């Protein structure tokens, strides 16, 4: 099973992908996490990506497509994958369809959140350097991750200027994918304004309906 979690930055894709991994055993493949790993390991790809990421721009398609398709090729045990943050442009979606052939992906779960709520969430978001989990500003007071005690920090691209740019980039380059996948009959819309547990429950119900 290959699922895609689609939604704007701050919609909660990463959080929900982690829950799906726990609940239904799919592997979580996040293009943002893969890029941050490349940066941390100072690879050539990481060095190229840094410039775009810190401004909130998209990393060029050819680099990201190669990275994610390479990672997907490593998933050979058949337990399925949830893609988080990829595809983000139409050329990426087309490349994914071409690489998969046949039926392509199984389902796109579109987590929809209004823009003012996204600005509120991203502006106050802190991440753990160790486990990468995001936390709201209220939980970041101690500077330590409530889950693993790692150090909390604000991502360069969660700073106000970059947040505004990321939301524009989403609107212009990623939101057309909603119609792309609707046209394929694969889009399921989830109300991302609900709390984390309610969003998870809707995602799981949607997946159950797919299985029956
Ligand atoms: P994320 O953690 O998904 O918010 O991604 C962080 C940043 O990584 C984005 O703002 C982009 O600069 C870059 N990035 C992640 N996924 C992609 C993608 N599919 N295409 C292009 N750039 C990406």
CA distance 138 to 142: 10
Question: Which class for 181: exposed (0-12), middle (13-18), buried (19 or more C-beta within 10 A)?
Answer: buried
CA distance 111 to 10: 10
CA distance 79 to 33: 20
Strands 125-128, 134-136: parallel, antiparallel or unpaired by DSSP? Answer: antiparallel
How many CB atoms are closer than 10 A to CB 92?
A: 22
CA distance 151 to 16: 22
Q: What is the pLDDT of residues 39-51, one digit of tens each?
A: 999 999 999 999 9
Q: What is the pLDDT of residues 9-54, one digit of tens each?
A: 999 999 999 999 999 999 999 999 999 999 999 999 999 999 999 8
Residue with tokens 């600005």: 119
The reply to whether the predicted model has a pTM over 0.75 is yes
Which of 58, 89, 174 is the pocket-test mutation for ligand 1 (most atoms within 8 Å of CB)? 58
- Ligand 1 pocket list (CB less than 6 A): 9, 31-32, 35, 52-53, 56-59, 64, 85-86, 88, 92, 157, 166
User: Is residue 189 within a helix (H) or strand (E), and if so which, with residue range?
Assistant: strand 187-191
DSSP state of 131: T
Task: Tell me the catalytic residues.
Answer: 13, 88, 125, 155, 166
Residue with tokens 């009959």: 185
Half-sphere exposure of 175 (CA within 13 A, CB side): 14
Instruction: Indicate the average pLDDT of the chain.
Output: 93
DSSP state of 144: B
Per-residue confidence at 171, pLDDT binned at 50, 70, 90?
very high
DSSP state of 59: P
DSSP state of 77: S
Per-residue confidence at 82, pLDDT binned at 50, 70, 90?
very high
Dihedrals φ, ψ of 189, to 5°?
-95, 135
CA distance 91 to 198: 32
Which of 88, 125, 163 is the pocket-test mutation for ligand 1 (most atoms within 8 Å of CB)? 88
């Amino acid at each position: 099973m290959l699922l895609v979690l689609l939604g704007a930055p701050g919609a909660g894709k990463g959080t929900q992908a982690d829950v799906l991994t726990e609940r239904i055993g799919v592997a979580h493949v996040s293009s943002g996490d893969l890029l941050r790993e490349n940066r941390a390991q100072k690879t050539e790809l990481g060095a190229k990506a840094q410039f775009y990421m810190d401004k909130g721009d998209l990393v060029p398609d050819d680099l990201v497509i190669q990275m994610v398709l390479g990672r997907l090729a490593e998933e050979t045990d058949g337990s399925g994958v949830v893609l988080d943050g990829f595809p983000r442009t139409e050329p990426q979606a087309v490349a994914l369809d071409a690489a998969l052939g046949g039926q392509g992906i199984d389902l796109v779960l579109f987590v929809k959140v209004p823009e003012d709520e996204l600005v509120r969430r991203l502006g106050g978001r802190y991440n753990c350097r160790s486990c990468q989990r995001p936390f709201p500003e209220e939980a970041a007071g101690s500077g330590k991750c409530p889950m693993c005690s790692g150090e909390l920090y604000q991502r360069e691209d969660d700073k106000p200027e970059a947040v505004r740019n990321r939301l524009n980039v989403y609107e212009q380059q990623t939101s057309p994918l909603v119609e792309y996948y609707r046209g394929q009959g694969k889009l399921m819309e989830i109300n991302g304004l609900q709390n984390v547990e309610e969003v998870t429950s809707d995602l799981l119900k949607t997946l159950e309906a797919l299985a029956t």
